[in-house]
Amino acid sequence: MKKIMLFAGLALTLSGCATAITHEAAHIVQVNENEKNQVKDCKTLGQVTGTSSYGGLFMQEAGKSYAKNQAINDAANMGATHVMWTLAEGGFFGGHAAGVAYKCPKVAAN
């Protein structure tokens, strides 16, 4: 029972360190490098990066996700509408993400 409580306490402690996505960042369109045509008419704002200490055997996807959240939050602070990912990976020692932030013109609604 002590081991279960210790593991639950550790999980709760670690979850407090996770990078949450901001309201502004939630509206950013995420693009892969093979979808470059989506940002061809956009202004490049700069590079964004993120890191996470989540890793190990079971938290690699979480590490990648939290690193992407950190980078996309930075893109939102730059005024970006899109992020094209150049790197997004989770590993045993944590997650890493990198991309390029873009501000694209608004498309008129029909």
CB-based contact 45:101 (threshold 8 Å): yes
Please give the Cα distance from 46 to 83 (Å, whole number): 10
Instruction: Establish if 56 belongs to a structural domain.
Output: yes
108 assigned to some structural domain: no
CA-to-CA dists, residue 36 to 7, 23, 41, 42, 108, angstroms:
43, 25, 10, 10, 21
What local confidence, expressed as pLDDT, does residue 64 receive?
85
Q: What is the pLDDT of residue 9?
A: 43
Give a yes or no: residue 18 inside a domain: yes
Look at the chain and report how many structural domains it folds into: 1
Residue 110: inside a domain: no
User: Residue 49 is part of a domain; what is its CATH number?
Assistant: 3.30.110.70
Residue 15 in this model has a pLDDT that exceeds 50: no
- The residues with which 73 forms a beta bridge, in sequence order, are none
- 44 in Cβ contact with 93 (< 8 Å): no
Domain for residue 30, yes or no? yes
**Could you report the per-residue pLDDT of 42-64, keeping only the tens digit for each?**
999 999 999 888 777 777 878 88
By residue range, what is the domain housing residue 48?
2-103
